[in-house]
Homo-oligomer: A and B are copies of this chain.
Amino acid sequence: MNTVSNVKKSSDVGVDRLLHMYRQMLAIRLFEERANDLYTRALMPGLAHLYIGEEAIAVGMCEALDRSDYITSTHRGHGHCLAKGATPDRMFAELLGKASGYCKGKGGSMHIADPATGNLGANAIVGGGAGIATGAAFSAKYLGTKQVSVCFFGEGALGQGVLYEEMNLAQLWKLPAIYVCENNMYNEYTHYSETTAGEILARPAAFGVAAERVDGQDVRAVYAAADRAVRRGRSGQGPTFLLCDTYRHHGHHVGDISREYYRPKDEEQRWMSERDPIKLCEGWVSAEGLADGDTLDRMRAELTATMDAAVQSAMAAPYPQPHEVDQDVYA
């Protein structure tokens, strides 16, 4: 698995912070399990790309952000969205195409956006968030707001030339942009080694962008790296690129069930049993005695109730009215 871990002791991160991050990861996990379930029961229209297994990246990253900082997200975006502060009920509603969803049902799973939490939107174009995130960083610098702007993307986006155009601009103009590459090793059904020549970290470095590899399954390591990147950005030192090694437990999308032809079962097994970010975190918490079993159980019960209620309310919510189809085309 070959991940370079920048692991710190949990106490460096702070107990409250670690528990908060644990909670956030668990929230995403529970959210995604329900999304999977809805889809499997044919209750959800379209597709969904689950974030299960990658939770530590969104959570560690967003833990270092303020609410007013910006993010852009991807087709696999529920985790980023929740970590940045979205509420699950309006998210489920959006996944179901309901009027109470974040986008009034017009966006769907791949387009959730929310100005209140600085979420510039998930994007169904691979690499599609790079320009937007860099532009938000440009605004922050132009207006002197000290915000930073985080661009999440899968390693597949390394194939899109526009990413390099944006990193060049960000570095030239010392923009507070943070490029977070979630390397789960697969571009859909193709291993990234078949699509990615050279060394990934050398790519941002070639544009002068500070680059760092991070164990994407260790939420503490992600948080620490995120914190460094955010400081760099806020202090005018320019962009950072974080390469986070990770793994998606499920298929590319919920319908991707038979995966043996592109991904070995034992690889899946190994990442799930040994490298699950939530289990790992649980391990540290208990090993270091940071919380007792009861606390974690209570957390899980609370979140479960929240998520179930969110699904319920989303299911019960009405679809948009037909006439709404023509609204919001122009501001």
Contacts and interface: CB of A to CB of B under 8 A. Distances in A.
A271 to B, nearest CB: 25
B198 A205 contact: yes
A3 to B, nearest CB: 20
B206 A199 contact: yes
Interface of A: 159-165, 167-168, 171-172, 194-199, 202-203, 205-209
A168 B165 CA distance: 15
A161 B159 contact: no
B161 A165 contact: yes
A196 B172 CA distance: 7
A161 B167 CA distance: 10
28 contacts: A159-B168, A160-B161, A160-B165, A161-B163, A161-B164, A164-B164, A167-B197, A168-B195, A168-B196, A168-B197, A168-B198, A171-B197, A171-B198, A172-B194, A172-B197, A197-B207, A197-B208, A198-B206, A198-B208, A198-B209, A199-B206, A202-B202, A202-B205, A202-B206, A203-B206, A203-B207, A205-B206, A206-B206
Given A160-B161, A172-B197, 12 more contacts: A160-B165, A164-B164, A171-B197, A172-B194, A172-B195, A197-B209, A198-B205, A198-B206, A198-B207, A198-B209, A202-B205, A203-B207
Contacts of A164: 161, 164
